[in-house]
Amino acid sequence: MRNNPLSSIAIHSVLILYSLLALFPLVLIAINSFKSKKGIFRDPMALPLGDLYSSKGYQSVLANGDFPLYFGNSLIVTLISLVFILLLGAMAAHALTEFRFKGNGLLGLYLILGIMVPIRLGTVALLELFVKLGLTNTLTALVLVYTAQGLPIAIFIFTEFLKSVSGEIKDSARIDGLSEYRIFFEVVLPLIRPVIATVAVFSMIPIWNDLWFPLILSPGEGTRTVTLGIQQFIGQYTVNWSAVLAALSVAIMPVLVMYVIFSKQLIRGITAGAVKG
Amino acid sequence: MTRSGWRGYIVFFLAPATLIYTIFAIYPIAESLRLSLFAERDSAALFVGFDNYQKLFTEPYWAEQFWNAFKNNVWLFVLHMLIQNPIALALAAILSIPNLRGAATYRTIFFLPTLLSVVVIGFIWQLILSPLWGITPAFMNFIGAGSFFAPWLGLESSALTTVTLISIWQYVGIPMMLFYAALLNIPEETLEAARIDGLNGWWIFWKVKLPLILPTLGLVGILTYIGNFTASFDLIYTLQGGLAGPNGSTDVMGTFMFRTFFGFQAQLGDVNMGATVASSLFFIILLGVSVYLFGVQRRLQRYQA
């Protein structure tokens, strides 16, 4: 199969065709975001060169003024949640695999229940809880929810991975007299590095892209995330196509950058057996 | 080391995760289940047993919306299973061909739409399919099918299927990655043995690889099921609004739950009925997960052994 040039051409045709299908919508938006409304309608497939080029769309996005704030909010929420998910998840997984105690198995099962039962189903009670705590319209509420949402998957992947790692390193560290805390930070954390990227990407994407919780828990002007901000912005500017397309392009960029940075490690983590099904 | 010493470490490592998870994930779900058994009478909570459920399933105003949303969710699930997952499997199978040139690049491209916000994806497709912009009609004229164009998102008969196809376009990357990882994990010796037996690539895929990745097929199935019942909210809210138009034809459990809880236009929000919708959804998901854990997964494991 590998050596047959005909089937090789067929395979690459299929792959290229699907690549076009996956990329075409994104490229279309990106090139048209640099055109004026006239250009967008007159010549949608052309590159934004010569008199087609216009940066008006981006200017009106920037003039709106709130996007840096939205980006900041999303960045804060995503990063802090991510740190909590990775650190607390790794700590829990370490305890579950390292210490034998009564109820260990049951607690492990309890902690990964959340993979199967989406936290969104508790939205009604979550909102009441945050009202009581006085945390509505704060980024803290989002961080807490996303941490709780991300922990089960992180604990599951870390536990599976730690089970496959030999305990000898930890035992020799113990003989060397390292405290349990130092063993975790100096031995276990470096040990799980291969799957950290996988957990990070899989936790990060749903947080950055979420519309549900920002819409319900923190819709206020000052705490809007990018996803919610874009949703509202586009709702207001449906006639200003240049601005809409520019806003969409702006929203795509950060995720794209994160993906490019993490993609190699992500694949390595997945194929290293972190996700075995 | 003393027993109490160990206990200190166990608490230190486990308590933070367990606490946050219990307070902000498990408690709200349990509390929603509890709220579904109460109703507000004269601004006081009154225990009403399963009255809310009875109302939801039998009172025309509620039952119509509930079964409509449920039916739409089932259609969404069926389409994802019939279109998304086979495409994902085919792409993963091709990508896992040894020494395929450009495999990493293709993989990156195929996964790209998955990364983006549903809000962004929704608007992009809305623009592309819009009769106003004319991208799609022009393309269809080009391939000689111009007369088949219709504003699909705006028609009751085609809106839900169109939304589903957009979702498939976006999320095909996730099952693809899972299949891909499973295919790469098949030991080389197994494949070598099949080759020595004289099987060609096509037969190896059907007779050797596919049976070996059956557990992943099961996992993808249940993940599709869960995602379809909860995550479909974002896309439909973005594309069709909270009323999930035209005329409720794209309403799913997520949008229904949102409207019930918060109210929409003339309809007032109702916390207890919102909790009832959420709890019904909880039992629907629980049913699916149980079928998976006790039916599908067991059988697959027996097949493996």
**Which residue among A40, A251, A267 places its CB closest to the CB of B120?**
A251
A149 and B97 within 8 Å at the Cβ level: the answer is no
∠ CA A154-A205-B252, rounded to 5°:
100
Distances (CA, A) of A109 to A40, B71, B285: 54, 32, 17
Q: Which of A137-141, A243-247, B8-12 has the lowest mean pLDDT?
A: A243-247
∠ CA B140-B145-B146, rounded to 5°:
60
- Residue A78 CB-half CA count within 13 A: 24
pLDDT in tens, B204-237: 888 888 888 888 888 899 989 988 888 788 889 8
The contacts of residue A169 (CB under 8 Å, 6+ apart) are A187, A191
Same domain (yes/no): A18, A74: no
Asked if B201 contacts B286 with a C-beta cutoff of 8 angstroms, the reply is no
**pLDDT given for residue B4 in this prediction:** 57
Chain A residue whose CA is closest to B225: A116
What's the rounded Cα separation, in Å, for the pair B222 and B274?
Answer: 25
- Residue A102 CB-half CA count within 13 A: 1
Strands B267-268 and B263-264: antiparallel
Residue given tokens 């549900």 in the structure block: A212
- Sign of the C-alpha dihedral, residues B235, B238, B243, B245? negative
Calculated CA dihedral for residues A36, A38, A44, A49, nearest 10 degrees: -50
Percent of chain B at pLDDT exceeding 70: 96
Averaged pLDDT of chain B: 87
Does residue A265 fall inside a structural domain?
Answer: no
Interface check for A257 against chain B (CB to CB < 8 A): the answer is no
Q: How far is CA B30 from the centre of its chain?
A: 22
Same domain (yes/no): A112, A83: yes
Chain A residue whose CA is closest to B29: A122
**pLDDT given for residue B301 in this prediction:** 64
What's the rounded Cα separation, in Å, for the pair A157 and B10?
Answer: 19
The CATH architecture assigned to B55-304 reads Orthogonal Bundle (1.10)
Q: Which of A249-253, B49-53, B237-241 has the highest mean pLDDT?
A: B49-53
Asked if B23 contacts A133 with a C-beta cutoff of 8 angstroms, the reply is no
Interface check for A171 against chain B (CB to CB < 8 A): the answer is no
Interface check for A88 against chain B (CB to CB < 8 A): the answer is yes
pLDDT in tens, A98-136: 888 888 889 999 998 888 888 888 998 999 999 999 999
How many structural domains are present in chain A?
A: 2
Same domain (yes/no): A48, A92: no
Q: Which residues span the domain enclosing A43?
A: 5-60
Same domain (yes/no): A99, A133: yes
**pLDDT given for residue A154 in this prediction:** 93
Same domain (yes/no): A71, A165: yes
Across residues A63-76, what is the average pLDDT? 86
Q: Which of A78, A104, A121, A232 to mutate: most B Cβ within 10 Å? A: A121
ipTM of the complex, rounded to two decimals: 0.86
User: Closest Cα partner for B73 from B252, B217, B300?
Assistant: B252
Same domain (yes/no): A94, A194: yes
Is residue B304 scored above 70 in pLDDT? no
Interface check for A57 against chain B (CB to CB < 8 A): the answer is no
Does residue A248 fall inside a structural domain?
Answer: no
Is residue A231 scored above 50 in pLDDT? yes
B16-19, Cβ contacts within 8 angstroms, sequence gap of 24 or more: B16/A88, B16/A91, B16/A92, B17/A88, B17/A89, B17/A91, B17/A92, B17/A111, B17/A151, B17/A155, B18/A92, B18/A107, B18/A111
What's the rounded Cα separation, in Å, for the pair B41 and B22?
Answer: 30
Domain positions in chain B are 55-304
A89 and B23 within 8 Å at the Cβ level: the answer is no
Does residue A46 fall inside a structural domain?
Answer: yes
pLDDT in tens, B156-201: 888 999 999 999 999 999 899 889 988 988 888 888 888 888 878 7
What's the rounded Cα separation, in Å, for the pair B267 and B255?
Answer: 14
Q: Which of A3, A15, A153, A156 to mutate: most B Cβ within 10 Å? A: A15
Rg (CA), chain B: 24
Query: pLDDT tier at A272 (50, 70, 90 boundaries)?
Result: low
Is residue B126 scored above 60 in pLDDT? yes
Q: What CATH number has the domain bearing residue A159?
A: 1.10.3720.10
pLDDT in tens, A188-211: 888 888 788 778 877 888 898 898
What's the rounded Cα separation, in Å, for the pair B205 and A238?
Answer: 48
Query: A50: alpha, beta or left, given left = phi > 0 and alpha = psi -120 to 50?
Result: left
Same domain (yes/no): A136, A173: yes
Interface check for A155 against chain B (CB to CB < 8 A): the answer is yes
pLDDT in tens, A153-199: 999 989 988 887 777 778 888 888 888 888 898 888 888 887 887 78
Same domain (yes/no): A47, A115: no
